[in-house]
Amino acid sequence: MPERRTTPRKKFSFYMRVLDDDTQTMLGHMVEVSAIGLQLETIMPLPLERDYYLRLELTPELADRPFMVFIARTKWCKPDVIEPNLYHVGFAIVEIMPDDREIFLRIIEKYAK
């Protein structure tokens, strides 16, 4: 399948949990990130083209609050090549507040390689 991504993504070197803000359940943790989306490693497949209110837990060096919430849509989901009980899920950011966008870009700058 040809690459359709236009914004480069980076490996994420920090363990950052991502929760479903509606249910307060952990969806997974970030493994790759870009300015317009992210990839999670999860223990369950997620339905495609579904919008989630994602909650990122923040550290004090990133922001003066404990978390941020934004809307992201699942674009793809596939099982991990090595660990078949894990899944990789790609999300596109649909809606994010301007100050949260700044925090998100700070996260990329600080933890992505």
Show Cβ contacts of residue 104 under 8 Å, excluding neighbours closer than 6 positions: 35, 56, 68, 70, 93, 96
pTM of the entire predicted model = 0.88
- Going along the chain from its start, the domains and CATH numbers come out as 11-111 (2.40.10.220)
Show Cβ contacts of residue 1 under 8 Å, excluding neighbours closer than 6 positions: none
Q: What is the pLDDT along the chain (113 residues), one digit of tens a residue?
A: 445 545 566 777 778 899 999 999 999 999 999 999 999 999 999 999 999 999 999 989 889 999 999 999 999 999 999 998 999 999 999 999 999 999 999 998 888 88
